[in-house]
Amino acid sequence: MKKKHSVQVIAITGGKGGTGKSTLAINLSIALATLGQRVALLDGNLELPCIDTLLNIRPQRTLSNLIEGNCTLPEILHTGPRGINLILGTPYSKTMHGLLTAHHVGIINAFNEIQTEVDVLVVDTASGANDSVLNFTRAAHEILVVICNEPASILNAHALIYTLNNQYKIRKFRVISNRTYSPVEGRDAFSKLLALTSCNVDLSLMYVGNLPEDLAVRYATHKRRAVYEISPRSKFSRELEAIAKKISRWPLHTTPRGHIEFFMDSLIMAPPDHGTKTPG
């Protein structure tokens, strides 16, 4: 029997806007592609997508066309920097407002069409804990929570983690500290989040790394380009490269976990895997 191709699915999420989540999603996708991975990046902020703006791209076909039934998912793929495949939204689209869970499931299932063409799918969710965030996040194999060292960011990240754990029994979360002035500050932010979850023995939070505050990020945003592409030797890019190498070694999930998942067709049918045996 031919072995099915497994895809690593990483949801990049956070409880609060302004943490640099979309910037991380774009640049991590490019860094993983540079390591030889075939990468797709989904703008999962359905009502207020921004990846097209951040990269100065005007796609002809978007998720609106998919929802309206005018296109298949392969037909809306847009080639981005370093050959990454972009699945983008349409700002101010009436079609994308008020979507139901059934629509989210339809988008998730559509990715089965490209499972043999992708090694990694990065999903940039909206901020907060609305239905699209919860559905896209729980459908991923790895959840990467982005925090900044400020009370609102940490408290809102905790609220999102609590919701995902309480409603969907998700136990494992990975955390990145962003926009810090030192590695010590990054660890400090993670420690504050960890302290909020210390009473819940059902949770596992793992620290992935720290991304520094860097003028190169502001410059790239102004130019509407990816930092990793135009400033590859900046502090941000160097730290991101180290994080990408770490992520490329994360184990792949090969069994379903009992709820909606991206690339379900690639998972070997077996008893649900609740994540307790996956290495950190």
Q: What is the mean pLDDT of residues 238-248?
A: 98
Could you read off the pLDDT of 47-56 as tens digits, one per residue?
999 999 999 9
Q: Which residues are CB-neighbours of 45 under 8 A, at least 6 positions away?
A: 22, 89, 124, 125, 126, 132
Q: What is the pLDDT of residue 92?
A: 84
- Band of residue 3 on the pLDDT scale cut at 50, 70, 90: low
Q: Is 137 exposed, middle or buried (0-12, 13-18, 19+ CB in 10 A)?
A: buried
CATH number of 8-266: 3.40.50.300
Mean pLDDT throughout 198-227? 95
* Of residues 152 and 202, more confidently modeled: 152
Extract the tokens encoding 130. Answer: 């609305």
Say if residue 269's pLDDT is above 50. Answer: no
Question: How high does pLDDT run on average in the chain?
Answer: 92
Domain definitions of the chain by residue range = 8-266
Binding-site residue positions:
16-23
Cα atoms in the Cβ-side hemisphere of radius 13 Å centred on 133: 22
Residue 114 pLDDT exceeds 90:
yes
Q: Which residues are annotated as a binding site for ATP?
A: 16-23
Percent of the chain with pLDDT over 90: 85
Statement: residue 1 has pLDDT above 50: no
